[in-house]
Amino acid sequence: MFAALVGVSGHTGGKTHKHAPSHGSRRNTTTHPKATKTARIQRPVAIGAITYSFLFVVNELQVDYEPLPGQDRPLTDQWLNTIPPQQAGAYIGELVGTVFRYQDGVISPAHGYLWHRPSMGLEGRIVRVNQANVIDGYPVLYRAQTVFACSPLLPMIVTDGDASLGYTFPRRICSCNHMYDDERCSTWSHLHFGSGDDNSRGEISYVNSYASGDPFVAGKDPSWVPSLVPSVYRNTKPSAGPSRGLSGELPIILALMGFHGKPGRASDVFRDRKWNLGQWVGSNRASSYLPKSGESPRGLFVQVCADNLVDGQEDCEENNIPVEVWEQALQDLEYRTILVQG
């Protein structure tokens, strides 16, 4: 089943995961295969040519938006839109979702896997537990990101890692008009979309967290706007070709889907298989659970792990898959397939 994954061509430059159950979820463990106008995404392969499987969880962050001492309003951007707080202490809890398994386009609960976080402010991760509810395995962390729906005027922002650990900041532009990031911190970005190099049959939008590409989708009239991606990201260029689909970083796409669940119930979307075999079969309208004007932002944290263990029972078949093979397969899934058709 997994032999086809060995030696699959894909993006280069990805780091090898550390084989330790304590490696962090603050930042992604893979290097971004950035999609820019000068560095194009590889041509997609047909869905079904490779077997893909991963584990994921979507958690709703509970946030205290009370102003800090000496301030008269919650944290805002320069246009006075409320944004997520920078301090870990403002994240007072999380509503934990079910751990799911994605396998070749089909989603099902991953029995025997749970979300474990000792307490807020500390890193959490998907774990495997035995019948005594004792942790006996740690799946390989692939990618973790946080997405906040802030308001109709600031519909979606994303940052790498777990925003509840603090030290998140909006991207800023200095006096020399040069954008900069502090490597010790995590920065918020609007959704951006790269495009592929095979546009003969339409455009594919590759969503990312690092402000690469364009702040609008790659093709015209995608079926997943406004259901998953807000209408403000529509492509209005007369020269744009028809949209073929949405792909890119898995946690972002899963979060966009999760916003269709009631607050604290993002797992319902996946339990009901609103995303199935590359099709979004949920509502074709924007989620009714996104913040309205004057309401507080809503944030989802998503962790994606390979369907493979770092440490666990030696006779478990998950341990038979090399980490590098899973990492390459998941990068190919993000950037060489179409995750949501249309």
**What is the DSSP track for 123-165?**
--EEEEE-TTS-EEE-EEEEEEEEEEE-BTTB--EEEES-GGG
Mean pLDDT over 176-192 rounds to 69
**Per-residue model confidence (pLDDT) at position 167:** 87
Q: What are the φ/ψ torsions at residue 327 (nearest 5 degrees)?
A: -60, -45
Residue 256 DSSP one-character state: H
Q: What percent of the chain has pLDDT over 70?
A: 76
Report the alpha-carbon distance of residue 65 to residue 218 in Å, rounded: 35
**Per-residue model confidence (pLDDT) at position 151:** 95
Position 312 confidence tier, pLDDT thresholds 50, 70, 90:
low
Tokens read off for 150 = 């802030």
Q: What are the φ/ψ torsions at residue 26 (nearest 5 degrees)?
A: -65, -40
Q: What are the φ/ψ torsions at residue 147 (nearest 5 degrees)?
A: -125, 130
The helix, strand and coil proportions of the chain, stated in percent and rounded to the nearest 5, come to: 15, 30, 55
Position 19 confidence tier, pLDDT thresholds 50, 70, 90:
very low
The pTM assigned to this predicted structure is 0.83
Report the alpha-carbon distance of residue 97 to residue 117 in Å, rounded: 12
User: Up-side HSE of residue 22: CA atoms within 13 Å toward CB?
Assistant: 2
Pair 340, 245: CB distance under 8 Å? yes
Helix (H, G, I), strand (E, B) or coil at 304: strand
pLDDT digits (tens, 9 = 90+) for 64-82: 999 888 888 898 988 899 9
- Beta-carbon contacts of 173 under 8 Å, excluding residues fewer than 6 positions away, are 179
Position 287 confidence tier, pLDDT thresholds 50, 70, 90:
very high
pLDDT digits (tens, 9 = 90+) for 239-253: 999 999 999 999 999
Pair 154, 293: CB distance under 8 Å? no
**Per-residue model confidence (pLDDT) at position 326:** 83
Average pLDDT over the chain, rounded to an integer: 82
Pair 36, 212: CB distance under 8 Å? yes
**Per-residue model confidence (pLDDT) at position 169:** 83
Residue 191 class from Cβ within 10 Å (0-12 exposed, 13-18 middle, 19+ buried)? buried
pLDDT digits (tens, 9 = 90+) for 315-327: 455 556 677 788 8
**Per-residue model confidence (pLDDT) at position 313:** 55
Residue 152 class from Cβ within 10 Å (0-12 exposed, 13-18 middle, 19+ buried)? middle
